[in-house]
Amino acid sequence: MKRILLLICLLLASCSPKHSPPVIEYRDSLVVEYRDSLVFRDSIIQVPIPLESDQAIVRIDDTSHRETSFAESDAWVGSDGFLHHNIRNKRGEIPIHVAIPEHWIVDKAHAEKAATITNPVYVERKLTGWQKFRIEAFWWLLAISAGLSFYVFRKPIFALIKKFL
């Protein structure tokens, strides 16, 4: 009989989960940014070419090779009596140090406002009396079932307490 009563109490103690309306949080933020900047882009920089010159006087059967910082030249007079002349540019880059001014002023104003808005969710029908009873009666039914289980198992519990004390 005691076990049947315990089983009935445990079955009555079971409950359905409690539903709460969802909480929706809205965040509103405002960012104001002020910039005053001066940037030079796609600038054309005039670079002066270094002034270099060279000359050579050679005989008719001889060749002439001249070289500057940017080019090489070969010249000779052929057996046909014509002057042949080759000129080539050298590969490479000219290192030029240029300072381009950059002027930046940034003024940032940042404001953030957070508010929690709870919107109730309406369901089609209300809870029945049995559902309300199961939701609200959980804790006192749990206490009753704990008391009954202590009553049923009191002799082994007291035996364990006496054994340890």
Q: Domain count of the chain?
A: 1
Phi first, then psi: give them for residue 38, nearest 5 degrees.
-130, 110
Residue 133 forms part of a structural domain:
yes
Residue 16 forms part of a structural domain:
yes
**Per-residue pLDDT tens for 26-82?**
666 666 666 666 666 566 667 777 777 777 777 777 888 888 888 888 888 887 878
Please give the pLDDT value at position 132.
Answer: 86
Residue 155 forms part of a structural domain:
yes
Residue 140 forms part of a structural domain:
yes
- pLDDT of 6 > 80? The answer is no
Q: Which residues form the domain of 34?
A: 2-40+101-164
- pLDDT of 99 > 70? The answer is no
- pLDDT of 128 > 80? The answer is yes
